[in-house]
Amino acid sequence: MKTLKNIFIFSLLFILSCDNSTNPLDDSGVWILQREKQDDITYYSIHFSDRNNGWICGYDGTIKNTTDGGNTWQSQLSGISANLWDISFVSNLKGWICGANNTILKTSDGGKTWKNVLPSDSLNKFYVSIKFIDENNGWASNNHGEILRTTDGGQSWEVKMSGLIGGARLSVINQQTIYVLSGKLYKTFNNGETWDFVEVSTPKNYMTVNMSFVNDKNGWIVTGNGTGGTILTEFPILNTNDGGLSWQVTDYLVDGESPGFRCVYFANENVGWIAGYQNVYKTTDAGKNWIKENSSVNHRLSTKDICFVDENNGWIINRNGEIFKYQKTSH
């Protein structure tokens, strides 16, 4: 009887150890192909203001909008032919899209009408990243290494930083705190009046590609191939918990023979995603552990942009305009 009792206890402990509810990485999902390729347009960005309303943009002034969570998409007239790179909406009505040929478009009616609020410039600048935190305060970057700020919804812009290499990535925490990634990382805590250089300890043969900060302390950086030709299949993910004073490699993740991971998004200090050419990974413990979330068409994911409105609702777009929607699988 004692032997049977021991066997029962061991079996019970084994079952409990396999219970999905005890595994923090089981809180995962899959990416379902929601929109197939429908045209020959190259797409660059996707943004949702809530679970239903979203926008995509791309080549030749293309803007499309959905009001049913991405199931159907309708074209919106941008009025221009410039390539459009990035989207930022602060509500279902007010939003901005930036692009080539000195373009920063603004809408106040959900995209029914768009107006270019950026004056023409003989230097023909490309605006590659735009982020607004409310209907007045926003930031943009261009290919001339400038970081610009607006406090009146984009009607006027002021250069707050210059001399960077190419177009920078922006992570806007609040009106005072902004991170800028352009090969090197910079931050401001006073609305861009002064900037501090942040040393990022990137492993040899890799370069910084994109970032996601959830507050002034916690941030993550994804990396790409910095060798100039050598094939790499694993890429380090970097994390800071002190505003960039120190960085740790949380893991090396596989993305096949690709340039590296392009996109990273964190919903809070623990839950986040990274996406690349083949794979999407999720973490629920700030990057200490990662789980691969496969889609049925993972071999052609080719991520260009990723967005979430909460932990359960997210989308990815690739260059062909295919859209993948996040579907949670755990119970």
Residues 240-291: pLDDT tens digits?
Answer: 999 999 999 999 999 877 788 999 999 999 999 999 988 999 999 999 999 9
Q: What is the pLDDT of residue 20?
A: 32
Q: What is the pTM of this model?
A: 0.89
30-328 has CATH 2.130.10.10 classification: yes
103-136: pLDDT as tens digits: 999 999 999 999 999 876 667 899 999 999 999 9
Q: How many residues are given for the chain?
A: 331
Q: Side-chain half-sphere of 191: how many Cα atoms within 13 Å?
A: 8
Q: Three-state SS string across 17-63, please?
A: HCCHHHCHHHCCEEEEEEECCCCCCCEEEEEECCCCCEEEEEHHHCE
Residues 88 and 96 sit within 8 Å (Cβ to Cβ): yes
**CA–CA gap between residue 108 and residue 93 (Å, rounded):** 5
Nearest CA among 21, 26, 28, 33 for reference residue 281: 28
Per domain, the residue ranges of the chain are 30-328
Structure confidence at residue 191 as a pLDDT band (50, 70, 90): very high
Percent of the chain's residues with pLDDT above 70: 89
**CA–CA gap between residue 200 and residue 229 (Å, rounded):** 23
78-102: pLDDT as tens digits: 999 999 999 999 999 999 999 999 9
Q: What is the pLDDT of residue 296?
A: 58
3-24: pLDDT as tens digits: 444 433 333 333 333 333 334 4
**Of 1-10, 24-33, 205-214, 234-243, the least confident:** 1-10
Residues 143 and 150 sit within 8 Å (Cβ to Cβ): no
Burial class (CB in 10 A: 0-12, 13-18, 19+), 105: buried
Higher confidence at residue 26 or residue 44? 44
**CA–CA gap between residue 311 and residue 295 (Å, rounded):** 18
Structure confidence at residue 297 as a pLDDT band (50, 70, 90): low
